[in-house]
Amino acid sequence: MKSYFKPITRRKFLKKGVTGGAVMATLPVWKLFSFSSPPSDFYVNPAVNLSKETLEKLIEIGLQKGGEFTEVYVEYNVGNRISLEENKIYGAGRGVDMGVGIRVLHGEKTGYAYCDDLSFDKLKQTAEIASYIAAEKEMRKPVGLKSSKVPSYYMVKVSPDTIVPQDKAKLLWKANSVGRDYDKKVNQVNVGFSDINKKIIIANSAGNWVEDVQTISRLIVSISAIEGDKRSRGYAYKGGTLGYENYDLKVAEELAKDAGRMAMAMLPAEDAPAGEYPIVMAKGHCGTFFHEAIGHSLESDGIRKKTSCFWDKKEKMIASEITSLADDGTVPGARGTINVDDEGTPAQNTVLIKNGKCINFIFDRLNAGLMKEKLTGNGRRESYQHYPLPRMTNTYLMAGKDDPEDIVKSVKKGIYISRIGGGNVTSVTGRFVFSVPEGYLIENGKVTKPLKGIQLMGSGPEVLKNIVMVGPDLEIWGGGTCGKSGQAKPCSDGNPTLKVSKITIGGAKV
Ligand SMILES: [Zn+2]
């Protein structure tokens, strides 16, 4: 499940800060605003480091009870957030978290322990606790650590963590004024900027040793409009593994205009009809559908445990011949992009469905090992307090050959989805319900009236077979935070313009 543009309230953020870790500290607004220079604990904190000897020692301790594999994950994490609501800076905060997670694998079993204290005694204890998952007489010998360079897919020149809140606030004020001036029916503008900055070190008993510095940032504008008893909302955002050089007043202005456009377009929306209709999805803004309704069912834990509807579908046709789907952690600057995953495996582009055939799944180390498959760079965790799971990065429907204009023209009566909203999916059956924050009627090959209350209902496997046209105009856009087994992780998605021959619409009156 992904949440996209819910601007987090200050209260929620503070709460998250406190529960985020034992050493998480969130400064109150007044204190934050007293900074006149970049915070001194800038995220690339040289103090957060473990020597090769310490890492090797911890790996050895992790293996002492006969475990098959041990991994040490070190994380230093700084998050910043500032938001504007009701014409004032509504909240701002900074959270710092740090810790080490040690994992031991033994068959299907995982031993995991973490601590937020980098003293050797505490780390040793942590490794010992993780080691108890195994109880063998023989201890395996770790391979000596060899440091390897990571690739670079991030677009970061200026870390947003070095920018004082006063400067970030200028973007928020700009979006606020442009949004409010957009139309006199605009009654509310919310703007938020957030960034997460992480340094991670991963070392394991197979000898891999990598370090990565990750930055994720996002500027979101949400605009509400009102006219009589009609209400609407528009939103727009820019985000990704992006440095602060990617944001300026012009970007804030464009986002505010786009959010305003959507709010005004949806204000006169009529109730959506119910029934079965052909659907056209707009490029770039409907990738969440593929993430939720298909991607989760291709994650290898569900495949191995046979809880996914695709568990026995490897090398079988599961989609129409023009349908191909990929998960690609290497898209420059995208929100789900990683240089290495949280197990130290380099990110890669993995084709999951090729011309309708299911050819691969999304793997972390545990499931790849048990299923005797290759790693795909999808072992991801929320923080040092969590062990990795197979998770998506940037998931997208691959480009096809149909002209986007022809795609719309081919529909006599149907629904055009400009932006897809949140969804609810059961991965066992693939059944889904999605809301549609921006959608229109298609009549005789033309996009006409705006519709509200569109609900897409059906099953992922069914939709895959009903994809009948795919455009060449693939766009990977924005993204959100995916939740799985209680772990939140940033990811992105995308799609070209496409047509599904039929999906059930639970209309506004249902
Ligand atoms: Zn998800």
pLDDT on residue 157: 92
Dist. CA 287 → ligand 1 center (Å): 11
List beta partners, residue 198.
Answer: 77, 214
Dist. CA 380 → ligand 1 center (Å): 13
Dist. CA 50 → ligand 1 center (Å): 33
Mean pLDDT value across residues 409-427: 92
Residues 318-354 as b/e (b if ≥16 CB within 10 A, e otherwise) read: bbbebbbbbbbbbbebbbbbbbbbbbbbbbbebebbe
More confident residue, 134 or 37: 134
What are the structure tokens assigned to 379, written together?
A: 């072992």
Which stretches within 294-381 are classed as H helix?
300-304, 365-371
Burial class from Cβ neighbours inside 10 Å (0-12, 13-18, 19+) for residue 113 reads buried
pTM of the model: 0.90
Distance CA(420)–CA(345), nearest Å, equals 32
Dist. CA 264 → ligand 1 center (Å): 30
Dist. CA 291 → ligand 1 center (Å): 6
Dist. CA 488 → ligand 1 center (Å): 9
Dist. CA 289 → ligand 1 center (Å): 10
Dist. CA 3 → ligand 1 center (Å): 9
Mean pLDDT value across residues 225-244: 96
pLDDT on residue 428: 80
Mean pLDDT of the chain: 90
Dist. CA 482 → ligand 1 center (Å): 4
Neighbours of 444 (CB within 10 A): 9
- Whether the pLDDT of residue 352 is over 90: the answer is yes
pLDDT on residue 46: 57
Backbone region of residue 228 per phi and psi (left: phi > 0; alpha: psi in -120 to 50; beta: other values): left
Confidence of residue 10 (pLDDT cuts 50, 70, 90): very low
Mean pLDDT value across residues 330-346: 97
pLDDT on residue 509: 58
Distance CA(82)–CA(202), nearest Å, equals 31
Neighbours of 492 (CB within 10 A): 29
Taking only the tens place, the pLDDT of each residue in 152-190 is 999 999 999 989 999 999 999 999 999 999 999 999 999
Dist. CA 323 → ligand 1 center (Å): 20
What DSSP string describes 450-495? EEES-EEEEEHHHHHHTEEEE-S--EEEEEEEEEETTEEEEEEEEE
Dist. CA 15 → ligand 1 center (Å): 23
pLDDT on residue 430: 85
More confident residue, 342 or 96: 342
End-to-end CA distance of the chain: 23
Dist. CA 285 → ligand 1 center (Å): 15
pLDDT on residue 429: 83
Burial class from Cβ neighbours inside 10 Å (0-12, 13-18, 19+) for residue 370 reads middle
Burial class from Cβ neighbours inside 10 Å (0-12, 13-18, 19+) for residue 156 reads buried
pLDDT on residue 477: 81
Distance CA(454)–CA(473), nearest Å, equals 25
Dist. CA 48 → ligand 1 center (Å): 31
Dist. CA 93 → ligand 1 center (Å): 26
Confidence of residue 45 (pLDDT cuts 50, 70, 90): low
Mean pLDDT value across residues 324-348: 97
Among 473, 467, 154, 468, smallest CA distance to 285 is for 473
What are the structure tokens assigned to 240, written together?
A: 């990704």
Backbone angles phi, psi at 245, to 5 degrees: -65, -15
pLDDT on residue 5: 34
pLDDT on residue 47: 63
Q: Rounded to whole angstroms, what are the CA distances from 202 to 146, 334, 358, 371?
A: 11, 22, 31, 23
What are the structure tokens assigned to 70, written together?
A: 């041990």
Dist. CA 66 → ligand 1 center (Å): 35
What are the structure tokens assigned to 99, written together?
A: 């810790």
More confident residue, 169 or 139: 169
Residues constituting the chain: 510
pLDDT on residue 336: 97
Mean pLDDT value across residues 351-359: 98
pLDDT on residue 39: 47
Taking only the tens place, the pLDDT of each residue in 58-88 is 999 999 999 999 999 999 999 999 999 999 9
Dist. CA 274 → ligand 1 center (Å): 27
- Whether the pLDDT of residue 30 is over 60: the answer is no
Dist. CA 295 → ligand 1 center (Å): 8
Dist. CA 296 → ligand 1 center (Å): 6
Dist. CA 45 → ligand 1 center (Å): 31
What are the structure tokens assigned to 440, written together?
A: 């229109």
Dist. CA 249 → ligand 1 center (Å): 32
Q: Strands, DSSP E only, in 144-257?
A: 146-147, 186-204, 208-227, 230-240
Neighbours of 462 (CB within 10 A): 16
Mean pLDDT value across residues 464-489: 93
Dist. CA 119 → ligand 1 center (Å): 36
Confidence of residue 40 (pLDDT cuts 50, 70, 90): very low
Q: Strands, DSSP E only, in 315-370?
A: 325-328, 349-354, 357-358
pLDDT on residue 8: 34
pLDDT on residue 277: 97
Mean pLDDT value across residues 54-61: 97
- The torsion angle over the Cα atoms of residues 105, 109, 113 and 119, rounded to 10 degrees, is -30
Dist. CA 337 → ligand 1 center (Å): 15
Dist. CA 254 → ligand 1 center (Å): 28
- Whether the pLDDT of residue 478 is over 80: the answer is no
Dist. CA 454 → ligand 1 center (Å): 21
Confidence of residue 37 (pLDDT cuts 50, 70, 90): very low
What are the structure tokens assigned to 13, written together?
A: 């953020």
Mean pLDDT value across residues 119-131: 96
pLDDT on residue 23: 29
Mean pLDDT value across residues 334-362: 98
Dist. CA 335 → ligand 1 center (Å): 13
pLDDT on residue 21: 29
Dist. CA 491 → ligand 1 center (Å): 8
Q: Which domains does the chain have, with CATH numbers?
A: 2-266 (3.30.2290.10), 271-506 (no CATH)
The three-state secondary structure class of 16 is helix
CB 209 within 8 A of CB 184: no
Confidence of residue 18 (pLDDT cuts 50, 70, 90): very low
Residues sharing a CB contact under 8 Å with residue 507, sequence separation 6 or more, in sequence order: 271, 272, 273, 274, 275, 453, 454, 455
Distance CA(377)–CA(304), nearest Å, equals 17
pLDDT on residue 20: 30
